[in-house]
């Protein structure tokens, strides 16, 4: 994207117009270029002739590098990894998101978003608007069991590939692909699918953001290695273990695998989980201690007598004279002097039976923290059967999904790391459980969490119950589930103000014609200057695409003045001028502007060259205007 005289080629990474002109690019950012720009900003001395000098960078980092055999290094690799990285770094040029108000709920007021489309392309489209804006990501990706839908990505022709993979180009509409175990690339196919999506997802997380990934034993080990590479080993939090079902008698090995994992990584600066609020049911004050309610706690420590000889002694009750012998394997927690001080201050409870052990009073008033740690053994939530029942309750019939996650699992995770106004993203959203979980949390906690769900519109088989009930795709079922769940939650919490709506967007072909870099087609491409849009698109769709690729998030609804659109979020402002304009445009916008550094995107006109020249000159001559607007052309 080319802006005014202050900036150059911000987004020209593919598609759009030649980089020598000041034109808006229809592509999303080129992430390799951005990485290089960040390195150059940190270490300007590594830039030579406009390129990164790798040797200079290595010299700077040399104190942190060990001298090892250059042919030996620890790495995790597989066939296709280089291409998977390239796919993540390649901008989305030929796609956009089209609003579908018909299937939305509360379009004008809701801040929630549901997107039908390939999550790889959608994550690319979200990069500018949602960079470092997402606090929590929860995903339940394919487990690679041999029957999962597997995405086959092709960065050369992303939208056409997306249509084929979802069966939308097939006359029958039933084409899907699976990753069979007989394939020689069973694990590599899954890794190549996951890698670019996780890399793009990391860009969206806030500095203290967290990602939760449900997975089973099939790819757990590989997932950890990929996430270590993308998020960093130091940012690994845990593989939470969740009991998903009761034991099965069908196992041929007599081992019933009843658990799954929820792998968790932080982006960078997450300090801690919220924890579980302490239960004070065991606290009381039977002896009327002036310090208040108390409970008893262990008075020993996991050290033996050889390790802590000064804590290995016989403890005597000063009132009864009963002796309590020490335990060689677990000595007392305190030395004799410290223990006597605790006895004098009435902290020690002596039992009347010498075979039992003395305990220490732990007062509620002296607790340093009101929360216990969140256990990696997630035992307080429901099983898969609960998730299926929750879905069935909404639809008054058997669940269309065999392994729907229980709402309690997702709410327990989100609640640990989220604050009142955070955004929760699920880009393998399936039946829409995450949306229902967010709405439940908002109702219970009076919070204002927002959800963004992304789901491939995968077709149901024609013989399935969902298809017979009129639902062609998973997306259709999920959208209906969110509507019904929202209505149920509003009835359940009548005094709570809940955003139960959601805006529906669908991944579609870009409304902006793509520049063909083939020099043989140069003359025909000049037509794009006067007709940059596809004929079957509307001005509203065109304006939305420009706004998204300029950094406006999907919550924003434009102010519309004829064919001109004005988008505003908390940190962005974009004017999309598709109608008529003149040289007084900037002055008019300057009088109306709400934010500084707004972007103004203009449609080129037949007389555009002269007007464009005069507008640029006006920007140069009037610093105040120049400071407030980035001027771009289509």
Residue count of the chain: 634
From residue 355, alpha-carbon distances to 303, 304, 312, 322, 332 in Å are: 21, 20, 17, 10, 16
> What is the per-residue pLDDT for 271?
82
Mean pLDDT for the chain overall = 85
> What is the per-residue pLDDT for 605?
65
For residue 510, what is the DSSP state?
Answer: -
For residues 293 and 313, what is the distance between their CA atoms, to the nearest angstrom? 30
Where exactly are the structural domains of the chain?
A: 95-232+409-508, 294-366, 516-633
The better pLDDT of the pair 88, 262 is held by 262
Closest CA to 315 of 327, 301, 326: 326
Phi, psi (rounded to 5 degrees) for 54:
-60, -40
CA 126 vs. chain centroid, Å, equals 11
> Beta-carbon neighbour count of residue 335 at 10 Å?
14
Task: Work out whether the CA dihedral 152, 153, 158, 162 comes out positive or negative.
Answer: positive
Closest CA to 127 of 208, 211, 270, 31: 31
End-to-end distance of the chain based on CA atoms, in angstroms? 10
> What is the per-residue pLDDT for 625?
78
pLDDT higher than 90, residue 260: yes
With bands split at pLDDT 50, 70 and 90, how would you rate the model's confidence at 399?
confident
In this predicted model, what pLDDT tens digit does every residue of 198-247 receive, in sequence order? 999 999 999 999 999 999 999 999 999 999 999 999 999 999 999 988 88
For residues 507 and 90, what is the distance between their CA atoms, to the nearest angstrom? 17
3-state helix, strand, coil in the chain (%, to 5): 35, 20, 50
Which residue shows structure tokens 């989100």? 414
Which residue shows structure tokens 């010498």? 354
> Exposed, middle or buried: residue 461 (CB in 10 Å: 0-12, 13-18, 19+)?
exposed
pLDDT higher than 50, residue 8: no
pTM summary value: 0.82
> What is the per-residue pLDDT for 501?
97
In this predicted model, what pLDDT tens digit does every residue of 554-613 receive, in sequence order? 999 999 999 999 999 988 999 999 988 888 888 888 887 777 778 999 887 655 578 888
> What is the per-residue pLDDT for 18?
32
Q: Pairing relation of β-strands 134-139 and 423-426?
A: parallel
pLDDT higher than 70, residue 173: no
> What is the per-residue pLDDT for 435?
98
Which residue shows structure tokens 């084929």? 164
From residue 171, alpha-carbon distances to 34, 167, 455, 476, 562 in Å are: 41, 8, 22, 20, 39
Beta carbons of 246 and 192 less than 8 angstroms apart: no
Beta carbons of 174 and 167 less than 8 angstroms apart: yes
Phi, psi (rounded to 5 degrees) for 240:
-65, 140
Closest CA to 545 of 493, 505, 584: 505
Range with top average pLDDT, 126-135, 138-147, 602-611: 126-135
Name the CA radius of gyration of the chain, rounded: 30
> What is the per-residue pLDDT for 41?
79
Element (H, E) at 546: helix 539-549
Phi, psi (rounded to 5 degrees) for 206:
-65, 165
CATH topology of domain 95-232+409-508: Rossmann fold (3.40.50)
CATH topology of domain 516-633: Transcription Regulator spoIIAA (3.30.750)
In this predicted model, what pLDDT tens digit does every residue of 275-297 receive, in sequence order? 988 888 899 999 999 999 999 99
pLDDT higher than 50, residue 17: no
Beta carbons of 587 and 164 less than 8 angstroms apart: no
């Amino acid at each position: 994207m080319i802006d005014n005289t202050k900036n150059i080629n911000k987004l020209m990474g593919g598609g759009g117009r030649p980089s020598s002109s000041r034109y808006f690019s229809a592509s999303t950012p080129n992430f390799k270029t951005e990485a290089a720009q960040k390195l150059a900003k940190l270490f300007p001395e590594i830039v030579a002739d406009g390129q990164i000098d790798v040797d200079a960078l290595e010299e700077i980092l040399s104190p942190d590098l060990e001298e090892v055999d250059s042919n030996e290094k620890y790495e995790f690799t597989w066939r296709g990894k280089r291409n998977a990285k390239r796919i993540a770094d390649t901008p989305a040029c030929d796609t956009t998101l089209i609003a579908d108000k018909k299937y939305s709920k509360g379009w004008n007021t809701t801040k929630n978003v549901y997107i039908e489309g390939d999550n790889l392309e959608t994550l690319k489209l979200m990069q500018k608007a949602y960079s470092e804006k997402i606090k929590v990501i929860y995903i339940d990706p394919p487990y690679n069991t041999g029957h999962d839908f597997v995405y086959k990505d092709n960065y050369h022709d992303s939208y056409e590939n997306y249509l084929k993979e979802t069966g939308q180009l097939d006359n029958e509409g039933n084409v899907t692909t699976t990753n069979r175990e007989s394939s020689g690339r069973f694990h590599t196919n899954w890794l190549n699918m996951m890698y670019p999506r996780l890399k793009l997802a990391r860009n969206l997380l806030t500095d203290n953001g967290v990602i939760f990934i449900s997975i089973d034993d099939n790819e757990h080990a590989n997932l950890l290695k990929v996430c270590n590479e993308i998020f960093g080993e130091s940012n690994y939090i845990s593989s939470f273990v969740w009991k998903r079902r009761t034991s099965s008698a069908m196992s041929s090995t007599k081992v019933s695998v009843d658990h799954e994992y929820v792998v968790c990584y932080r982006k960078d600066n997450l300090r801690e989980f919220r924890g579980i609020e302490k239960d004070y049911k065991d606290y009381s004050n039977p002896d009327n201690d002036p310090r208040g309610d108390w409970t008893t706690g262990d008075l020993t420590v996991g050290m033996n007598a050889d390790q802590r000889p000064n804590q290995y002694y016989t403890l005597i009750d000063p009132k009864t004279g009963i002796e309590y012998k020490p335990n060689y394997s677990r000595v007392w927690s305190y030395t004799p002097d410290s223990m006597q001080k605790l006895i004098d201050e009435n902290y020690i409870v002596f039992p009347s039976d010498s075979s039992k052990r003395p305990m220490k009073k732990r007062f509620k008033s002296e607790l340093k923290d009101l929360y216990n740690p969140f256990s990696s053994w997630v035992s307080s939530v429901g099983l898969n059967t609960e998730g299926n029942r929750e879905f069935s309750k909404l639809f008054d019939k058997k669940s269309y999904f065999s392994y729907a996650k229980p709402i309690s699992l997702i709410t327990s995770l989100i609640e640990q790391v989220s604050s009142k106004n955070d955004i929760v993203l699920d880009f393998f959203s399936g039946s829409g459980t995450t949306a229902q979980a967010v709405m439940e949390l908002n109702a219970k906690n009076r919070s204002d969490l927002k959800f963004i769900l992304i789901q491939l519109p995968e077709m149901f088989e024609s013989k399935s119950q969902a298809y017979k009930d009129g639902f062609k795709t998973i997306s259709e079922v999920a959208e209906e589930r969110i509507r019904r769940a929202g209505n149920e939650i509003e009835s359940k919490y009548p005094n709570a103000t809940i955003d139960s709506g959601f805006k529906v967007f669908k991944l579609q072909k870009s409304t902006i014609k793509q520049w063909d870099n083939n020099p043989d087609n140069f003359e025909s491409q000049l037509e794009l200057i006067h007709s940059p849009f596809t004929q079957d698109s509307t001005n509203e769709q065109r304006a939305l695409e420009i706004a998204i690729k300029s950094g406006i998030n999907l919550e924003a609804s434009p102010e519309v003045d004829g064919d001109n659109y004005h988008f505003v979020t908390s940190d962005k402002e974009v004017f999309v001028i598709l109608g008529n304009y003149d040289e007084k445009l900037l002055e008019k916008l300057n009088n109306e502007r709400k934010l500084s550094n707004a972007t103004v995107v203009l449609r080129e006109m037949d007389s555009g060259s002269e007007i464009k020249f005069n507008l640029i000159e006006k920007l140069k001559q009037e610093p105040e205007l120049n400071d407030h607007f980035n001027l771009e052309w289509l």
